[in-house]
Amino acid sequence: MPLVTTTKMFKDAYEGGYAVGAFNVNNMEMIQAIVEAANECKSPVILQVSAGARKYANPVYLKHLVAAAAETTDIPIAMHLDHGADFEICKASIDGGFTSVMIDASSKPWDENIAITKKVVEYAHAHGVVVEAELGKLAGIEDDVKVAASDAQFTSPDEVEEFTSKTGIDSLAIAIGTSHGAYKFKPGQDPKLRIDILEEIGKRLPGFPIVLHGASSVPQDQVAIINQFGGNMPNAIGIPESELRKAAKLAVCKINIDSDLRVAFTAAIRKHYVEHPDHFDPRQYLGDARANMKEIVKHKIINVLGSQNKA
C-alpha cells in the first residue's frame, strides 16, 4: 500500500479514543521490527525520521527502506519528518516523498514560530503533505540539544486557538510533562502528566489532533538486561504507560516513542554478545535486536496506544 498522510489516521484515532504510534527509524532492522509489529497487530503506524537519523543513514536510504516496508504490507503507514528545524529541511522532506512533516520552531518567539510554521504549511499543503508544529517546551535531549527541566514550559491552553488558526497546521505537539530521552525521572518519583491541561486544550480545539513527544517509559526489565550483560545505564524511569493510555483516550492522536526502542534493541545485542561470544555474523545479533524491538512495539500498540485492529 502506498504511504499515506496522517489525516484519516488521526480522525479515526480521535473518534475511536486511541492514538497512533510514531516510532523513530534509523536502519532496516528497526523499520522491519516496527512494521512487522504493526502488521501483526493490524495497526496504522507512523515511521519518523530525525535529523540524527538523516545524518546516520542518509535520507535516500531511509526513504527507500520505508517504501519497501510499505510495499510489503497493507496497513496504513505515514513517513514523518521528526523535529524539522527550518523551512529548508521541511521542503526537502516534502520534495523527497515524506507524507508528513514537523516544523519545530517551539524554541523561537511567538511571532517567529507562527511565521515559519505558516510558511511550511503553505508549501506542504500545496503538495498534499500534512504539518505538525509545537507549542511549549519539553525537557530532555533532542538532536543533541539539552533542555533542563527548569527551562521546560507547559503549553498554555490560552495560546492554542490563535496558533492553530493563524498557521493552519494539521496537528499540534504540546508539553504536559513528557520529556525526551531515557533519563527522564529518578526511581521513586511519581511522574504524572498534566491531563487537566490536555483536557482544557481539547475543549479549546474540538476534534483537533494533539501529539505527545518524549513518551518513552524506559522499560525497567530491558534496562536490567543491559546492565546484567555489561552495560552501565543509570537508574531512571520514564512516563508511566497508564498516564499515556489516559492521554490516548482523550485528544492525543500521535505518541512519539524512540528511546524505549533503542533500549530494547541494545538489550538484545548485549545479551547476545555475552551468551554467544563466538558469534560474528551481524545477522545473528541484529536478528535478536529486531525481534526484541518488535515485541516492545507490539506491547505499545496493545497496552499504550490502543491502535490494534484499527488499520
- Partner from ligand 13P, Zn ion, ligand G3H, none binding residue 136, C-beta < 5-8 Å depending on class: none
With CB under 6 A as the contact rule, the residue among 157, 177, 181, 209 that binds ligand 13P is 181
Cell of 96: 523527497
Beta-carbon count within 10 A of 111 CB: 9
List of long-range contacts for 67-71, beta carbons under 8 Å, 24+ apart: 67/3, 67/97, 69/31, 69/32, 69/35, 70/1, 70/2, 70/3
Residue 170 annotated as catalytic: no
- Partner from ligand 13P, ligand G3H, Zn ion, none binding residue 257, C-beta < 5-8 Å depending on class: ligand 13P
Nearest position to ligand G3H, beta carbon: 52
Beta-carbon count within 10 A of 277 CB: 8
Q: Residue 213 interacts with Zn ion (CB under 5 A)?
A: yes
Question: Nearest distance from residue 107's CB to ligand G3H, in Å?
Answer: 13
Active-site position among 12, 74, 82, 95: 82
- The residue among 210, 293, 221 whose CA lies nearest residue 246 is 210
Identify the three-state secondary structure at position 147: strand
| Strands 20-24 and 171-174, bridge-based pairing | unpaired
Exposed/middle/buried for 78, CB within 10 Å: 0-12, 13-18, 19+? buried
Residue closer to ligand 13P by CB (options 241, 287) is 241
Sign (positive/negative) of CA torsion 48, 52, 56, 60?
A: positive
77-116 footprint of ligand 13P as x/- string (CB under 6 A): -----xx---------------------------------
11-30 footprint of ligand G3H as x/- string (CB under 6 A): -------------x------
- Partner from Zn ion, ligand 13P, ligand G3H, none binding residue 143, C-beta < 5-8 Å depending on class: ligand G3H
With CB under 6 A as the contact rule, the residue among 16, 52, 97, 240 that binds ligand G3H is 52
- The residue among 230, 218, 216, 217 whose CA lies nearest residue 269 is 230
Query: What residues pair up with 81 in beta bridges, in sequence order?
Result: 49, 101
With CB under 6 A as the contact rule, the residue among 54, 213, 298, 300 that binds ligand 13P is 213
Q: How many residues bind ligand 13P (CB under 6 A)?
A: 14
Contact residues for 299 (Cβ-Cβ < 8 A; gap 6+)? none
Question: Using an 8 Å Cβ cutoff, are 231 and 270 in contact?
Answer: yes
Identify the three-state secondary structure at position 53: helix
Residue closer to ligand 13P by CB (options 96, 191) is 191
With CB under 6 A as the contact rule, the residue among 6, 259, 266, 292 that binds ligand 13P is 259
Q: Residue 216 interacts with ligand 13P (CB under 6 A)?
A: yes
Interaction site with ligand G3H (CB under 6 A): 24, 50-53, 82-83, 142-143, 180, 258
Q: Which residues bind ligand 13P (CB under 6 A)?
A: 24, 82-83, 180-181, 213-216, 256-260
- Binding residues vs Zn ion (CB under 5 A): 213
Residues with a catalytic annotation lie at 82
